[in-house]
Amino acid sequence: MTLIARHSNVDQLPPVWAWTNAIPQRAQPQSRRHTPWPWESVLMLLSNTLTRQHRVLQAGDAVYRAGEHLSNLYVLNSGFVKVMSLASDGREQLVSLKWRGDWLGFDGMATSHHSCEALALDTSEVWAFKYEALLAASAQTPELLTVLHEAMGRELTHDRDALMSVCTLPAEARVAEFLCHWVESLAARGLRTDAITLRMTRAEIGNYLGMTLESVSRALSKLARQQVISFVEKRRRDVCILDLKALTAFIQRQ
Amino acid sequence: MTLIARHSNVDQLPPVWAWTNAIPQRAQPQSRRHTPWPWESVLMLLSNTLTRQHRVLQAGDAVYRAGEHLSNLYVLNSGFVKVMSLASDGREQLVSLKWRGDWLGFDGMATSHHSCEALALDTSEVWAFKYEALLAASAQTPELLTVLHEAMGRELTHDRDALMSVCTLPAEARVAEFLCHWVESLAARGLRTDAITLRMTRAEIGNYLGMTLESVSRALSKLARQQVISFVEKRRRDVCILDLKALTAFIQRQ
DNA sequence: CGTCCGCTTGACAACTGTCAACTGTTGTGG
DNA sequence: CCACAACAGTTGACAGTTGTCAAGCGGACG
């Protein structure tokens, strides 16, 4: 339990946060691509200008389902959500993972009907905003519109990064990048980045990264063998990041 | 020149259109995922509510470049544009192809700086709209905001379809899907769909689909060998769609 | 006319998927 | 409380798709 290694730059831990399982720490230096955004002030802006509806979800519950009419956009206030795209022939694709502060529901804007499903992977809380009300408020408050567009732009950028990843990187590198991106997401929210709790099966990770669950398992085993990561006891979903530099190096070569 | 086969449902050809190389025909039944949108009325709405700046580009010219400040959004009025995402380590990824009526520039909304490059693959004309002016006008005209958001939603949906394609389909199927999608794009614009002019090298197609140029070449050769497509004379970039049903069948099985 | 570039094709190698066996954990019902 | 089934994960052997390398062809263009 206390075997989790800590990065040396953790000099002081802030008070415990209402955040799933993870203990917050000082904000860390950000990566190049994923610059921090003031999601806390965004949440405040939203609370001040709009009425919201809170919704608590258990793991497995859907925020929205494919085909549903787009009536709300959502902001994830706590927990962890996966977004699945469904093809008519039965293929499923995990296209995005969402953390605190992320928006949900943009995939419904093209046709007014959601083209994806958003499923909670952990106990989660979302704030639901009526799409119409959001648009109306945006007309009054340009700041709100900017916030919305920034979020959409980030989603677009993320999807394209994902596409580049599966198109240009070999399987092992994709797994390494997956872990790095997870770390960045935690860092951007001021959470500790020395250990991550994958609340997904190997099959889900594999689907997300375009490979089989066996390849995911092998890649993780190799990273562990090389002391880049380690697992907490027998819990193979709790990953300690032993050497972030080595992990990022894995993305580039091989 | 006249060797191009015609689908039997072409009973009458409308007058020639100012569209690159392709001759328009009756609008065809749309696919499930890519529903038609009234891009012509969108163009009219835009011309009525905003001042626009026309810009003509030659093949190779950039609509915008990565890193540039987001000052305009663009609507492609004619021609053909590719959008490239650039990684800091030099990798390049063709993430999107744009036809008439498509919007360009959303990738800059996350950070106010474009994260991609948009390069003309053919002589093209874009309409540039000041982003600030567009936002201001959207506050006045809700219809305009809806149009904008629909376009962003479509882009998001497209990117996720692309991700699912590279993650779940084998190389040959991806090539077939690429051709099908091209046909759908032509159909959605009322253009003839029996022949398409790829204004891209095999390497560009391969980059787009996450495979090597050799794999693209082999896949196209196989489709031609099976009479699903054919090439116009020696021009290996002009593809006739002989059997659209067989082509879509290629997406599913193998 | 010669070079460069795009494309095709073959031979081979390598990465990754498939199949199978095994372990360990979790949850359920007798 | 235990036996059992179901599920998640790991690992090995093997096969197959796809990448790599190379050669050759033909068109475009100076």
Contact call for residues A113 and A80 (beta carbons, < 8 A): no
pTM: 0.85
| pLDDT computed for residue A38 by the predictor | 67
Number of Cβ atoms within 10 Å of the Cβ of B111: 17
- CB-CB under 8 Å, B252 with A93: no
Tens-place pLDDT, residues A205-239: 999 999 999 999 999 999 999 999 999 877 889 99
Q: Is the dihedral of CA B231, B233, B237, B240 positive or negative?
A: negative
Tens-place pLDDT, residues B29-48: 444 444 455 677 777 787 77
pLDDT at B120 over 50: yes
Q: How far apart are CA A198 and CA A121, in angstroms?
A: 10
Which one-letter DSSP state was computed for residue B191? B
Two tokens, residue A254: 């091989």
| pLDDT computed for residue B254 by the predictor | 57
**Span B242-249, mean pLDDT?**
96
Two tokens, residue A165: 């990843």
Contact call for residues B23 and B197 (beta carbons, < 8 A): no
Start-to-end CA distance of chain B, whole Å, equals 33
Q: Which nucleotide is nearest to A213 (CA to C1')?
A: D9
Contact call for residues A229 and A240 (beta carbons, < 8 A): yes
Q: How far apart are CA B75 and CA B49, in angstroms?
A: 14
Minimum-distance CB partner of A93 among B35, B136, B164: B164
Tens-place pLDDT, residues B190-234: 999 999 999 999 999 999 999 999 999 999 999 999 999 999 877
| pLDDT computed for residue B38 by the predictor | 67
Two tokens, residue A88: 């008519």
Q: How far apart are CA B14 and CA B32, in angstroms?
A: 25
Q: Which residues of B touch A152 (CB under 8 A)?
A: 106, 109, 152, 156
- CB-CB under 8 Å, A111 with B160: no
| Cβ under 8 Å to A: B residues 74-93 | 85, 87-89, 91, 93
Nearest residue on chain B to A112, alpha-carbon basis: B150
- CB-CB under 8 Å, B163 with A145: no
Number of Cβ atoms within 10 Å of the Cβ of A240: 17
| pLDDT computed for residue B27 by the predictor | 38
Residue B42: C-alpha distances to residues B90, B134, B154, B216 (Å): 37, 13, 14, 36
Residues in contact with B38: Cβ distance below 8 Å, sequence separation at least 6, in sequence order: none
Q: How far: A92 CA to D12 C1' (Å)? A: 29
Task: Report mean pLDDT in 10-residue bins for chain A, 254 residues.
Answer: 34 32 37 53 78 92 97 96 95 97 96 97 95 92 92 97 98 98 94 93 98 98 96 88 95 77
| Low-confidence winner among A159-168, B12-21, B166-175 (lowest mean pLDDT) | B12-21
